[in-house]
């Protein structure tokens, strides 16, 4: 692993932990860096809500199948196990015999993933979520990558809880609800853009993200502007389009 | 497996239905507010609705203090409700009479304290970019909501959201899919389909969601299924094949 790249990532992540901190943007950045640094093909971050159910907050590429796979319609799977036990859960060959979560495994294979690792996001004794790493080829993830992955999961935990030292359930209620709503806005925006531009969801997400970066705006704000009609899909790709109905 | 969220929501629904039946009234935001107060032991509850961006109106307040707190925020243009509507997350203020609260809302906080309020908990009623309003609970004594009460308060907010959405979609209140509480990303497809319908019909996101819910209700199908059909492009909303 490239040490300098790794160091740069931690500096970059620490840099985003400002007053004006955007949880959902931060977690997307973290998911992206996992893919770049850890030799994995996709990463997803899930956080537990006040009902102790895992909710998907960020993925590395927003491919529709990955999003579906990470939603908690399965009451089984490595993410849930890592969350419940507080320990890493790995499966190096989802196509192999004896996978403990058959429904999750077959859905993962359909989505193009052959191996998975789920790392707990731990704060002291409490587990607040999981970082899931997917690979398209079977095989173990190196010990080095797992260590770095855990360090990134720890950074995510700190990011989530850094803002104020108020009571945990309130942090969960305020922060997580806000993040979940941002997540819903991104789903709404992604598909509105996909429909307008005739691209798939991952493509539409890349357009949203690229625009947010180029214009130094938060991903959630751009998604919101698109959904409320302040920014058109054509604006995102730099093509002037017809003005939208101002009554929105 | 029935999730804990689903069971909280079912419980809250049942409480409100019982209260409506006991007083021989139809389901309404008013009954919901009254039940919230009775079950959660707060001083009062208020539902506000957003008529236009930035324009909020009180739909029901269980007591004059609640009405006053809502009105104050409209007057001074700041407060927990304004913040909650803006960023879509709950704003929980255990004590309005602290330096932190007074600094955060220099106009609203002193006036709220003067009016007799001590704690204020605002839960936004929204689905992503669709902002319908807020459910606000207040107390005349300072203090946090404990974890279980907060979970119930969020469930009441989920149900209030459903009622407002039903009204918007023109379907009987709480008559739609009971699994649909709008909020969690149980099914991202619902939100994805909403975005697609918004583009297909060239209408706002809020109207698009109302159309989707109305369609599910009319076809007696779970919202999830209709959404899955839209996302898979088996169903398209358009002037040609979508009867209103």
- pLDDT tens by residue, chain B, 244 residues: 456 666 788 889 899 999 999 999 999 999 999 999 999 999 999 999 988 766 789 999 999 999 999 999 999 999 999 999 887 888 999 999 999 999 999 999 999 999 999 999 999 998 888 989 999 999 999 998 887 898 899 889 989 998 999 898 888 887 666 655 545 456 788 999 999 999 999 999 999 999 999 999 899 988 889 999 999 999 999 865 444 4
Let me know whether A194 and A144 are in one domain: no
Q: What is the mean pLDDT of residues A36-64?
A: 86
Let me know whether A150 and A190 are in one domain: no
At A167-210, the pLDDT tens digits run 455 666 677 778 888 889 999 999 999 999 999 999 999 999 99
Asked, for residue A248, whether it belongs to a domain, the answer is no
Let me know whether A138 and A212 are in one domain: no
Give me Rg for the CA atoms of chain B. 19
Does A246 score more than 50 pLDDT? no
User: Which among A9, A27, A47, A21 has a CA at the least distance from the CA of A162?
Assistant: A21
Sort out which chain A residues have CB atoms less than 8 A from B185's CB and list them.
Answer: 55-56, 71, 180, 183-184, 187
Asked, for residue A244, whether it belongs to a domain, the answer is no
pLDDT of residue A170: 62
pLDDT of residue A248: 44
Does A247 score more than 60 pLDDT? no
Residue of B128, B149, B183, B207 for testing the chain A interface, max A β-carbons within 10 Å:
B128
Let me know whether A202 and A155 are in one domain: no
In order of their start, the domains of chain B are 4-169 (3.30.450.40), 188-231 (1.10.10)
B183, B127 Cβ separation under 8 angstroms: yes
Sort out which chain A residues have CB atoms less than 8 A from B193's CB and list them.
Answer: 191
Sort out which chain B residues have CB atoms less than 8 A from A236's CB and list them.
Answer: none
| A183/B185 touch (CB, cutoff 8 Å), yes or no | yes
Residue of A179, A182, A188 for testing the chain B interface, max B β-carbons within 10 Å:
A188
Let me know whether A70 and A188 are in one domain: no
Which tokens is B130 given?
A: 């669709």
Give the end-to-end CA distance of chain B in Å, rounded to a whole number.
36
pLDDT of residue B179: 58
Q: What is the mean pLDDT of residues A151-156?
A: 87
ipTM associated with this complex: 0.84
E-strand ranges in chain A read: 42-48, 54-59, 89-91, 115-123, 126-135
pLDDT of residue A172: 61
| A191/B5 touch (CB, cutoff 8 Å), yes or no | no
Asked, for residue A120, whether it belongs to a domain, the answer is yes
User: Which among B235, B190, B233 has a CA at the least distance from the CA of B210?
Assistant: B190
Residue A49: band (very low, low, confident or very high) from pLDDT cuts 50, 70, 90: confident
B188/chain A closest Cα distance in angstroms: 7
Let me know whether A24 and A102 are in one domain: yes
Sort out which chain A residues have CB atoms less than 8 A from B205's CB and list them.
Answer: 188, 192, 227-228, 248
E-strand ranges in A92-234 read: 115-123, 126-135
Give the Cα separation of B62 and B77 in Å (integer).
22
Question: Per the structure, how many domains does chain A have?
Answer: 2
Task: Classify the C-alpha dihedral B143-B149-B151-B153 as positive or negative.
Answer: negative
Let me know whether A117 and A197 are in one domain: no
Asked, for residue A169, whether it belongs to a domain, the answer is no
Which one is predicted more confidently, B25 or A238? B25
A195: CATH: 1.10.10
Give the Cα separation of A191 and A187 in Å (integer).
6
pTM flag (> 0.90) = no
Let me know whether A109 and A24 are in one domain: yes
| A188/B91 touch (CB, cutoff 8 Å), yes or no | no
| A191/B205 touch (CB, cutoff 8 Å), yes or no | no
Asked, for residue A49, whether it belongs to a domain, the answer is yes
| B188/A68 touch (CB, cutoff 8 Å), yes or no | yes
Does A164 score more than 50 pLDDT? no
- Please give the residue range of the domain that contains residue A191: 181-236
Let me know whether A231 and A127 are in one domain: no
| A192/B88 touch (CB, cutoff 8 Å), yes or no | no
Let me know whether A107 and A146 are in one domain: yes
pLDDT of residue A18: 63
For chain A, percent of residues with pLDDT exceeding 70: 86
| B88/A50 touch (CB, cutoff 8 Å), yes or no | no
Asked, for residue A28, whether it belongs to a domain, the answer is yes
Whole-number mean pLDDT of chain A? Answer: 84
Let me know whether A20 and A87 are in one domain: yes
Which of A134, A163, A192 is where one domain is finished? Answer: A163
Let me know whether A56 and A110 are in one domain: yes
User: Which among A41, A66, A28 has a CA at the least distance from the CA of A134?
Assistant: A41
Asked, for residue A56, whether it belongs to a domain, the answer is yes
Which of A163, A191, A215 is where one domain is finished? Answer: A163
């Amino acid at each position: 692993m490239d040490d300098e790249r790794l160091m740069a990532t931690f500096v970059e992540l620490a840099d985003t932990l400002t007053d004006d901190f955007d949880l959902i943007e931060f977690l997307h950045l973290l998911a992206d860096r996992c893919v770049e640094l850890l030799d994995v093909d996709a990463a997803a971050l899930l956080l537990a809500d006040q009902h102790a159910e895992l909710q998907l907050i960020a993925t590395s590429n927003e491919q529709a199948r990955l999003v579906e796979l990470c939603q908690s319609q399965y009451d089984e799977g490595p993410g849930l196990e890592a969350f419940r036990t507080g320990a890493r859960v790995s499966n190096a060959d989802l196509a192999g015999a004896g996978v403990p979560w058959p429904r999750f495994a077959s859905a993962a294979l359909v989505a193009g993933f052959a191996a998975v690792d789920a790392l707990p996001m731990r704060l002291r004794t409490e587990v607040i979520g999981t970082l899931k790493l997917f690979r398209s080829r079977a095989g173990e993830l190196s010990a080095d990558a797992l260590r770095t992955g855990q360090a990134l999961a720890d950074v995510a935990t700190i990011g989530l809880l850094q803002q104020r030292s108020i009571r945990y359930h309130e942090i969960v209620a305020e922060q997580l609800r806000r993040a979940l709503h941002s997540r819903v806005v991104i789903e709404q925006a992604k598909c509105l853009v996909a429909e307008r531009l005739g691209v798939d969801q991952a493509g539409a997400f890349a357009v949203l993200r690229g625009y947010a970066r180029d214009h130094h705006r938060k991903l959630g704000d751009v998604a919101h502007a698109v959904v409320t009609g302040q920014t058109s899909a054509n604006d995102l790709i730099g093509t002037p389009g017809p003005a939208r109905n101002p009554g929105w | 497996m029935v999730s804990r969220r689903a069971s909280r929501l079912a419980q809250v629904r049942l409480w409100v239905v019982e209260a409506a039946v006991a007083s021989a009234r139809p389901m309404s935001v008013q009954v919901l507010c009254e039940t919230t107060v009775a079950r959660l032991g707060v001083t009062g509850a208020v539902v506000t609705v957003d008529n236009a961006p930035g324009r909020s109106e009180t739909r029901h307040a269980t007591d004059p203090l609640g009405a006053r707190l809502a009105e104050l925020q409209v007057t001074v243009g700041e407060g927990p409700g304004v913040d909650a509507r803006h960023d879509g997350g709950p704003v929980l203020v255990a004590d309005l009479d602290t330096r932190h609260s007074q600094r955060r809302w220099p106009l609203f906080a002193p006036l709220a304290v003067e009016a007799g309020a001590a704690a204020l908990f605002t839960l936004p009623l929204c689905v992503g970019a669709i902002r319908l309003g807020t459910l606000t609970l207040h107390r005349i004594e300072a203090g946090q909501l404990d974890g279980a009460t907060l979970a119930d308060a969020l469930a009441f907010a989920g149900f209030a959201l459903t009622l407002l959405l039903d009204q918007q979609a023109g379907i009987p209140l709480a008559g739609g899919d009971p699994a649909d509480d709008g909020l969690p990303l149980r099914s991202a497809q619902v939100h994805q389909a909403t975005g697609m319908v918004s583009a297909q019909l060239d209408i706002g996101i809020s109207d698009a969601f109302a159309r989707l819910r109305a369609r599910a209700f009319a076809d007696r199908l779970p919202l999830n299924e209709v959404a899955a059909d839209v996302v898979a492009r088996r169903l398209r909303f358009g002037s040609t094949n979508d009867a209103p």
